[in-house]
Amino acid sequence: MSGNIRRNWALIAFIAVAALGVIYFAAFDRPIRAKLSGIEAEKEIISQQTAEAEAALEEYTKMKNELERIDSLPDGSAAFMPDYDNSSALIYYFGRVFEDSKPELTFEEPKTEGNVASRRVNFRFAAKDYSDAKNTLRLLGSSGFLSRMPDLSVVPEGGDLKNGSLRVSGSIVFYELVR
């Protein structure tokens, strides 16, 4: 009789422990594991985003520092991109550069790429001598507007650069900021 009771108690205890184990794993362990793995996945995403944010912050700081350096320069010493459309200011500027000469100017249609429009102007002018030509070219390059002169050709009328008049032609590209 007492042996039967022991066996019954043992069976009841085993069933109770097994039931508690199943409940523990189903109702507690599994949800906790799922939550933890969800958190880990989110942490990985956040950590990736943090790395990107830190890289962006580094770039931002670099840009800020460079802008502060430019701000500290004397006025007009740093060339800049004016806002689109700057064509009227350019025409006014060319008027000042070619005051004494009669240039041929061709304005090409601006090409826009991202936030930048590039406006190519082809020029041709006659200079009375080399220093006149050089002076005009210097003025062309120092408009204060961001520009580059991809092509330039200088041909002396008399076959010698240092003597006599010159024919100068080329192109200059001005950049404008499209907001």
- Site of interaction with other proteins (CB under 8 A): 1-2, 5-6, 9, 24, 28-29, 32, 35-36, 39-40, 42-43, 46-47, 49-50, 53-54, 56-57, 60, 63-64, 66-67, 70, 78-81, 113, 115-116, 118, 134, 137-138, 141, 146, 148-156, 159-163, 170, 173, 175, 177, 179
Nearer Cβ to other proteins, position 56 or 91?
A: 56
Give me the least distance between CB of 112 and other proteins, in Å please. 13
> Scanning the structure block, which residue is given the tokens 């990736």?
48
Nearer Cβ to other proteins, position 87 or 120?
A: 120
Cis preceding-peptide flag for 85 (omega within 30 of 0): yes
How would you label 58-93 residue by residue, b for 16+ Cβ within 10 Å and e otherwise? eeeeeeeeeeeeeeeeeeeeeeebbebebeeebeeb
Nearer Cβ to other proteins, position 91 or 161?
A: 161
Give me the least distance between CB of 19 and other proteins, in Å please. 14
Distance between CA 10 and CA 30 in Å, rounded? 28
Phi-psi region of 110 (alpha: psi -120 to 50; beta: other; left: phi over 0): beta
